Amino acid sequence: MTNIILFGPPGSGKGTQATFLKEKYNLVHISTGDVFRYNIKNETDLGNLAKSFMAKGKLVPDEITIDMLSNEVDKNCDANGFIFDGFPRTQAQAEALGHLMDDKDTQIDAMVALEVDDEILVERLLERGKTSGRTDDADEKIIRNRIKVYYNETAILKEYYQKLNKFHGVDGVGSIEDITERLSKVIDSL
């Protein structure tokens, strides 16, 4: 089983690359945002609990998020592995994910981060904003703040996974195919 955390700032191409890697390696892509939306829309117990925190403007506790992810892993127990997208975001979440994987008799094999220059990210997101309808992709000030928040929050995770010899930075600039090839070299080496 191969389990990777796919990381990168907004606009780095995580969603695009997750689609290719999922197919190539027959992995299950678990996007935390999609998991939240599914649980809330379907009014699961965990979804209702998460919604109660969100309605108060509070962050959903890590335990609830981990329980949702655990359910996703259990639904796909015959998978070749998982691509985690959007989680973890803190060291406590990284440790909780490690414990979850231990409970499932597996582990996180690598955190793979797509690395892209900020100016290219801004260009990509503004371009996506023209077609996506996402308001957070249409305002350069908001985009730059999202990128800044990403770096502030994830610098800790880079160090955390480097200490475990599981961090791999990958150049996220070039053709989709070239980037997929770079990511594949990392995954093939695990």
- pLDDT for res 84: 96
Question: Mind listing the pLDDT tens digit for each residue in 31-58?
Answer: 988 899 899 999 999 999 999 998 898 8
Whether 147 is in a domain gets the answer: yes
- pLDDT for res 99: 96
Whether 107 is in a domain gets the answer: yes
Whether 57 is in a domain gets the answer: yes
Domain count, the chain: 1
Whether 101 is in a domain gets the answer: yes
Residue range of the domain that includes 111: 2-185
Whether 146 is in a domain gets the answer: yes
Residue 59 assigned as binding residue: yes
If we measure between CA atoms, which residue out of 115, 166, 131 comes closest to residue 13?
A: 115
Residue 15 assigned as binding residue: yes
Sign of CA dihedral 159, 119, 150, 26: negative
Whether 65 is in a domain gets the answer: yes
Question: Mind listing the pLDDT tens digit for each residue in 102-129?
Answer: 999 999 999 999 999 999 999 999 999 9
Question: Mind listing the pLDDT tens digit for each residue in 63-106?
Answer: 999 999 999 999 998 999 999 998 998 899 999 999 999 999 99
* Residue 143 CA to its chain's centroid (Å): 18
Predicted confidence band at 145 (pLDDT cuts at 50, 70, 90)?
A: very high
Residue 124 assigned as binding residue: no
Whether 190 is in a domain gets the answer: no
Residue 58 assigned as binding residue: yes
Give CA–CA dist 112/37, Å, rounded.
25
Residue 60 assigned as binding residue: yes
Q: What is the CATH number of the domain that holds 70?
A: 3.40.50.300
Whether 119 is in a domain gets the answer: yes
Token digits for 3?
Answer: 């389990």
- pLDDT for res 144: 94
Residue 11 in this model has a pLDDT that exceeds 90: yes
Residue 13 assigned as binding residue: yes
